[in-house]
Every structure is written in C-alpha cells, then in structure tokens.
Structure 1
Amino acid sequence: MRFDQPKTYSISLTGWGFWLGSLAGAALLTSLGLGWLVTGLVALLLLLLSLPILVLLAFRWWARRWITTDHCPVCGSESQAVEGTRFLCPDCGEPLFVADGHFYRQTPPGTIEVEPLEDSGWELMS
C-alpha cells in the first residue's frame, strides 16, 4: 500500500451505464414535466435582457440625487458637480465646493468679502 497517493474513486458511465442514466434522467424530466424548465429559461432570458435597462434607471436615479446643477457665485456660469466635492469653475477658475445643492466659494478663514460701490463722481483731494 502506498501512502503518498490518495485513494480516488470514479464512476464511469460508459456503455450501458450511460444509456441507463440518460433514460432515467429523461424519465424523471418526463414525469415532472418540462414546462417548469422552459418557464425558467424564459424568465432567465427576460432578466438578462432587462438588466441593462434596470442598471440605466438606477444610474439615472443616482445622478439626479447626487449631481447638482447651479450657478457660479463669482461669474454666474451654470455647471454641474457631485454633491460634497470641490472643483474649479470651468469659466472663471474660482475654487468652489458643493453643499446642500448650491455652489459656494472656498475662501480662507478671516477673509472679508466686499462689493465695490459705483463711482459717484466724487474725487479724493490729495
């Protein structure tokens, strides 16, 4: 007895065994009916055909939920970005971030924003 090789068992269905096994399988399928097999294959085919449509609908739902469209607070150009990300405005290059469906400027702490006034015609005396 050799200990270095494991014992292997195999079933050979050659000759009469193959035909008897095939006949038993055919008898089993005939007694159960083949309607369930055809129905299952058709259902699997329909699932595989509808899977790309379902994936597309899921992606569109995700995109509507997470992609924000808004105007740049500096130049007013409209663009799109994913919620919670930071990006540069494609027109003016201003660094922006997206929060709560709106675009905001990224300003360092302590920055005071001012808006220029129109020239009222007054001149400074020097």
Structure 2
Amino acid sequence: MNQHNFQQIRVNLPGLGCWLTLIGVVWLLGAVGLGWLVKSLAVLVVLLLAAPVLGFVGLRFWLRRNLVQGACPVCSTGLTGIKGAETRCLNCGTPLHTEADGFSRVSEAGTIDVAAVDITVESKPVLPDGD
C-alpha cells in the first residue's frame, strides 16, 4: 500500500486573521448597502487621530497671542502671565493686572499712586546768631 501523506503548508503570520476579518466585515457592509457606516467610522477614526494635533497647534497659537512677559512695576522682577488676568508678583507679593504691554498695579478705588523721590541734602554749617 502506498499511502500519500499530504503535507500542509502553514503560514504563521500573527494578526493576519484579524486583518482578514476586518476586511471581510468592511466588504460585507459595503455589499449590503451599509457603506455609509464604514465611511462614518473612517471619519471618526481620522478625527480621533487629528484632534490632539489640532489641539496642540491651537494651544500654541493661543499662547503666542495671549502670553505676556514683563517686569513687576514695583520690584522689577521678570514675570509671565495671561493677558487680562490678575496675578501677584512672586517676589514682592504686589497684586498685578496683566495688560498687552506688561503689568500694572491693581489698586482699590481712591488710592493715589505716588512716586517717591529721595533727595539728599547737604548739611551747611550753622552760623551763630550774632547780629
């Protein structure tokens, strides 16, 4: 007796069955007339992949337009803030308002800001009152 042993060819590609199943499901949905569902899922996947990139680009654009760097008007410490927000100086604790061109002090109504000037006076010898 001559027995013919058939040798089977095995292809071991991990994940190939998953891809073939996915392609088969997509083909079946397209054949049945549910292509709109496949297209909707494809658009959803593209949006999910594009959303972080668009968010990052948008955040960088917004920060470039709204981030203000300047010095504290009281102690001249370098500060960074968001335009239109109120903050405190990290060095002296002065409440500050962030404007487009820098920082300004926040003061209550009726407060008058003055600039003090230090004037040194040379002492003159005092003459005795003799006349």
Q: TM-score, normalised by structure 1?
A: 0.58
Matched, 1:80 2:80: yes
* Count of aligned pairs between the two proteins: 97
RMSD: 3.0
Q: Which amino acid counterpart does residue 79 of structure 2 have in structure 1?
A: S
Where do 5+ consecutive residues of structure 2 fail to align? 1-27, 127-131
Paired residue secondary structure (2:117): coil
- The change in CA–CA distance for 1:62 and 1:125 in structure 2 (over 3 A counts) is farther
Could you tell me how far 1:32 is from its partner in structure 2? 5.6
CA contact (8 A) 2:30 2:38 kept: no
Q: Is the 8 A contact 1:75 1:91 kept in 2?
A: yes
Q: What letter is aligned with 1:116?
A: D
Match of 2:10 in 1: none
> How many angstroms apart in 2 are the aligned matches of 1:83 and 1:125?
56
Change (3 A) 1:45 1:100: same
Q: Give the Cα separation in 2 of the matches to 1:63 and 1:123.
A: 56
| Paired amino acid for 1:52 | P
SS at structure 2 position matched to 1:76:
coil
The answer on whether the counterparts of 1:84 and 1:98 sit within 8 Å (CA) in structure 2 is: yes
**Partners in 2 of 1:125 and 1:84 — Cα distance?**
56
Alignment gaps of 5+ in structure 1: 1-25
* Residue of structure 1 equivalent to 2:53: 53
Structure 1 SS opposite 2:87: strand
CA displacement, residues 63-112 of structure 1 (integer Å, 9 cap, x when unaligned): 22222111111221111122222221001112211123310123453332
Q: Which residue of 2 aligns with 1:9?
A: none
Moved over 6 A (4+): none
Other-structure match for 1:110:
112
2:88/2:95 contact within 8 Å kept: yes
What is the identity, as a one-letter code, of the residue corresponding to 1:57? V
Q: 1:16-95 alignment to 2 at 5 Å? A: 29-30=30-31, 40-95=40-95
Say if 1:83 and 1:101, in contact at 8 Å, map to a contact too.
no
Q: Secondary structure at 2:79's aligned position in 1?
A: strand
What is the percent sequence identity of the aligned residues?
A: 28
Q: Distance in 2 between matches of 1:113 and 1:65?
A: 32
